[in-house]
Amino acid sequence: MSDIFRIDGLFLGVVVTFQDVTKVQRIEQEIRKKSAHLGSTTKYTFQNIIGVSQSITFAKHVAAKLAESDFTVLITGENGTGKEVFAQAIHQHSPRRNEPFVPVNFAGLTESLAESELSGYEEGSFTGAKEGGQNKTV
């Protein structure tokens, strides 16, 4: 991850952060493999979301519509607001309900690993190691 700092167009500096993500990747892959063997691990549906306020009713309506689409859904909110319940309900309502459900807590991931969870990644994208070597042009 790198950030370039400018004020009024004037270059001030660059901060680059390097982190070894191989351990996190390995653990994530193990979880995905185990989940694939277990099948769907959700237990909540929209019926488990019992709020009746206008805002919760609207949130459930939007979530149900999103579940029927092929869109990626990012759920944000404070601790204890029911993000996991909504995520499971969306999964249960989706055409993928019989596929494995693997929740990802982005708060515990680096920016690059979170980005890969959302958009996928290619071999060697974290380590730079690619089969057959890597060609660099400067």
Annotated domain spans of the chain: 2-119
- Using the structure block, give the residue that is written with the tokens 């001030």: 12
CA 78 – CA 28 distance, rounded (Å): 24
* pLDDT at site 62: 93
- Using the structure block, give the residue that is written with the tokens 């993500």: 21
Query: Does residue 47 contact residue 60 with C-beta atoms inside 8 Å?
Result: no
CB burial of 1-38 (b: ≥16 within 10 Å; e: otherwise) equals eeeeeeeeeeeeeeeeeeeebeeeeeebeeeeeebeee
* pLDDT at site 138: 42
pLDDT of the chain, 138 residues: tens digit per residue:
566 667 777 776 777 766 677 877 777 777 767 665 555 578 899 999 998 999 999 999 999 999 999 888 888 888 889 999 999 999 999 998 888 787 777 777 778 777 777 676 665 555 555 555 444 444
- Helix ranges (H only) for 1-138 are 22-38, 54-67, 83-93, 111-119
CA 126 – CA 73 distance, rounded (Å): 24
